[in-house]
Chain A
């Protein structure tokens, strides 16, 4: 029976080759875009190479102070997390690290720019970097403010010409560091592990940052298990109420939640309520879905048009099937399957094209060190989009088809 419908579906597609071509072209293109977007999201938010524990990690990255006349946003301050985020219930580890800064190394008349991140030792225990040489700095290095650094392969290439760098020194932003580890490059889209150079935070030029409630710092909280994440989030929010704000006349409240990776991103999107400490993820997902539907709407409408006229061409066949007792549901199913077959083919074509497109984006170097790849997850998303697209563009024509009066269909149907 499946073979019957499959064979018929293929024949129908081949009958009007031009239409099929146009439809396939539009579908492939649409699904190409959707697959590339899915790969992008997977790369930026999915489980990353260096972040195997992401599913039980919370991040506090943006703070917002607001008062009656003004609002001020920035990253957190060292003091905010150091004083209020330790010993949260359900917390296994806490790491504090600074936003990356661009620093320059002057070497033989060349200027080498790198992104430098100051971190604590817990950073290396929560994340899992791939070391090609040496190791990370530990508790003692941080405590004694040793001028040691971990660099990535790209930096090793630029400063040391690709030679083994362990034990060598280099200068950045006027300070001299000794290399104790070299790691694989991390994509700039993975904002937490990304940097070119990592150094202990205690090597900072001044320690004014230690007294700031808002500043340039982020906190990463590894929960004991996924169940504890909510408790961490709640408890920290309640502690925020007790924080002494730097300018109490100007600002009355502080918002700085511990959130999942996606939530930190969702908070920054337009149309979200940044002042609300609650999660904005659903709004973000809703917005994305809406945009996705709008995007898909135009090609779907084209397909609906083409499908309806195809139905009219097959009026004879429909009339016969109805005369011989086909229930409406079966007819709808038949048509939907035919349509989904078309969109799956389009999805497969779009998928293959997306491999090339992603390779091109990777090669363009648009996003530093990012390597966009297709994995099983992205493939699954691509096929899911194809099926969804087939449903959206097939349901209405299929419904129309099932409502055709058999007598009319048979009459008008020898054309």
Chain B
């Protein structure tokens, strides 16, 4: 599903060159639920950004479902992200001025659908994460766990094939964190969604099928 070949990512400022990733080769098969672990600053988030087409590698190729995205225009990449990829962030990144329902509909705004259809899909997604009752509330009225569940609903509303989660349980207590892991596992099991999760938490990582470890931008075992 996702294939990274000979990936290198270097950040250059005026005087300093930072090597975020070097010599990374990774293949994620369809339907896998893997974790990426490593100490802070080891390049986990960069890896996720590359997989999500939010950033481009300095060297190497990224392939999504067999298509190399090196030649893709901005618009094509945006379309691909919209269709096939969903994001979940550590700090939720919900729009505080929009209701829960409106937040979840955001990815659908960039597809041609009727308003009624969008609403239907959003309600369905909220139902899957168990937040139907809070449809018209605002993010500030929800707990951390509930906000992350809204973010998940937003990530899955468009039925993407890939979910990229950057420390999804990092800001939550253990109970809420478990809830989130349950939802992710269910999505992976029922919809065969490919999930790549970056995490610090050894326990959570143990629930996934494979762990990729990074240290200083390189894969280790």
Interface residues of A, Cβ cutoff 8 Å to B: 1, 4, 7-8, 11-12, 15, 316-317, 319-328, 330, 405-407, 410, 413-414
With A406-B54, A410-B89 given, is the CB distance from A325 to B78 under 8 Å? yes
Q: A323–B109 contact, CB under 8 A?
A: no
B98 within 8 A of A: yes
Query: A8 contacts which of B83, B91, B98, B118 (Cβ < 8 Å)?
Result: B98
Which partner residue on chain A sits nearest B97 by CB separation?
Answer: A11
Q: Give the most central of A323, A407, A414: most B CB within 10 Å.
A: A323
Residues A328 and B74 in contact, CB atoms below 8 Å apart: yes
B contact patch SS: helix
**Chain A residues closer than 8 Å to B118, beta-carbon distance:** 1
Docked complex Cα distance between A316 and B97 (Å): 12
Contacts A323-B54, A413-B93 supplied; 14 other A-B pairs, CB < 8 Å: A8-B95, A8-B97, A8-B98, A8-B102, A11-B98, A316-B95, A317-B95, A320-B93, A321-B106, A324-B158, A326-B110, A328-B74, A330-B110, A405-B55
Contact indicator A407/B55 (Cβ below 8 Å): yes
Would B109 and A4 count as touching, CB distance under 8 A? yes
B82 touching A324 by the CB < 8 A rule? yes
A405–B49 Cα distance when bound, in Å, is 11
CB within 8 Å for A4 and B105 given contacts A15-B97, A327-B110: yes
- Which residues does chain A contribute within 8 Å of B170, judged by CB atoms? none
Q: Quick one: closest B residue to A414, CB to CB?
A: B91
Which residues of chain B have a CB within 8 Å of any CB of chain A? 49, 52, 54-55, 74-75, 78-83, 85-87, 89, 91, 93, 95, 97-98, 102, 105-107, 109-110, 115, 118, 154, 158
- Distance of B140 from chain A, by nearest CB (Å): 12
A-B pairs with lowest CB-CB distance, top 8: A325-B82, A11-B97, A325-B81, A324-B107, A325-B78, A323-B87, A320-B93, A406-B54
Give the secondary structure class of A's interface: helix
- Determine the distance from Cα of A12 to Cα of B97 in the docked complex, in whole angstroms: 7
Q: List 26 A-B contacts (CB under 8 A).
A: A4-B98, A4-B109, A7-B98, A8-B97, A8-B102, A11-B97, A15-B97, A317-B93, A317-B95, A319-B93, A320-B93, A323-B52, A323-B54, A324-B106, A324-B158, A325-B83, A325-B85, A325-B107, A326-B109, A327-B74, A328-B78, A330-B109, A330-B110, A405-B55, A406-B54, A407-B49
Q: For B164, give the chain A residue with the smallest CB separation.
A: A323
- Using Cβ atoms and an 8 Å threshold, which residues of chain A touch B95? 8, 316-317, 320
Kindly list chain A residues whose C-beta atoms are within 8 Å of the C-beta of B102.
4, 7-8
Residues of the A chain whose Cβ atoms lie less than 8 Å from the Cβ of B75: 327-328
Instruction: Tell me, rounded to whole Å, the shortest Cβ–Cβ distance linking A310 to chain B.
Output: 13
**Interchain CB contact under 8 A, A324 and B81:** yes
Q: How far apart are the CA atoms of A6 and B92 in the complex, in Å? A: 24
* Distance to closest chain B CB from A334 (angstroms): 9
With beta carbons under 8 angstroms apart, the residue of B87, B98, B115 that contacts A324 is B87
From residue B53, how far is it (CB to closest CB) to chain A in Å? 9
Instruction: Give Cα distance in the complex from A119 to B86, angstroms.
Output: 81
Residue from A4, A15, A413 with most neighbouring chain B CB atoms (10 Å): A4
Of B55, B80, B115, B158, the residue contacting A1 (CB under 8 A) is: B115
User: A1, B74: Cβ atoms under 8 Å?
Assistant: no
What residue in chain B is nearest A406 (Cβ atoms)? B54
Instruction: Give Cα distance in the complex from A12 to B95, angstroms.
Output: 11
CA distance in complex: A321, B107 (Å):
7
Chain B residues contacting A321 (CB-CB under 8 Å) are: 106
Q: Closest Cβ of chain A: how far from B157's Cβ, in Å? A: 9
Knowing A4-B102, A4-B105, the reply to whether A326 touches B78 (Cβ < 8 A) is: yes
- B54 adjacent to A320 (CB under 8 Å): no
Beta-carbon nearest neighbor of A402 in chain B: B74
Query: Which residues from chain B contact A8 at a C-beta distance below 8 Å?
Result: 95, 97-98, 102
Residues of A within 8 A of B105 (CB): 4
CA gap between A4 and B75 in the complex, in Å? 23
Chain B residues within an 8 Å CB radius of A15: 97
Whether A323 lies near B91 (C-beta < 8 A) is no
Min CB distance A400 to B, Å, is 16
- Residue on B with the closest CB to A320? B93
Task: For B93, list chain A residues within 8 Å (CB).
Answer: 316-317, 319-320, 410, 413-414
A322, B78: Cβ atoms closer than 8 Å: yes
| C-alpha gap A232/B50 in the complex (Å) | 72
How far is it, in angstroms, between the C-alpha of A405 and the C-alpha of B85 when the chains are bound? Answer: 18
Q: Which residue of chain B is the closest to A326 with respect to CB atoms? A: B110
Contacts of B85 in A (CB 8 A): 325
